Amino acid sequence: MVLITDYKINTREDGEKFYSLVVQGGVEAVVSKETGRTYLTAKTARVSCTFDETMCQSLIGTSLPGAISKVEVVPYQYVIEATGEVIERNHRYEYMTDEAAIINENVHQEEMVE
């Protein structure tokens, strides 16, 4: 399950506005590469939608079936908001239904075996 935690206003190239919902997965324990200490985090992703702002606001706190999965993509630069540091990433986090997450996981594993 994921939880809708927020929404964002986006602007297309032609100036038209649209909204995306911010979804967050469950709590995960992760070990820091720098310190070796365990900390808790949760993956987040944005999902485009056709809703207006009022509907987006009303959906905050709603749970959806599915998960947030790590998806490999063409490398891109990413700015860490807290520090301003620019890093290169080759993945993003994407909301998937339970069925799509299972398929993505199995396809990913098959590709690694080859």
Q: Does residue 55 carry a pLDDT above 90?
A: yes
pLDDT at residue 44, rounded to an integer: 95
User: Quick one: CA torsion of 65, 29, 21, 85, rounded to 10 degrees?
Assistant: -160
pTM of the predicted structure, to 2 decimals: 0.77
Comparing 11-20, 44-53, 79-88, which segment has the lowest mean pLDDT? 79-88
- Tens of pLDDT along 7-44? 999 999 999 999 999 999 999 999 988 899 999 999 99
Q: Answer for the pair 44, 5: CB distance below 8 angstroms, yes or no.
A: yes
Domain layout of the chain by residue ranges: 2-113
Q: Are 92 and 77 in contact (CB under 8 A)?
A: no
Numbers of helices and strands, H then E, in the chain: 2, 8
Q: What does the pLDDT look like over 99-113, one tens digit per residue?
A: 877 777 776 554 444
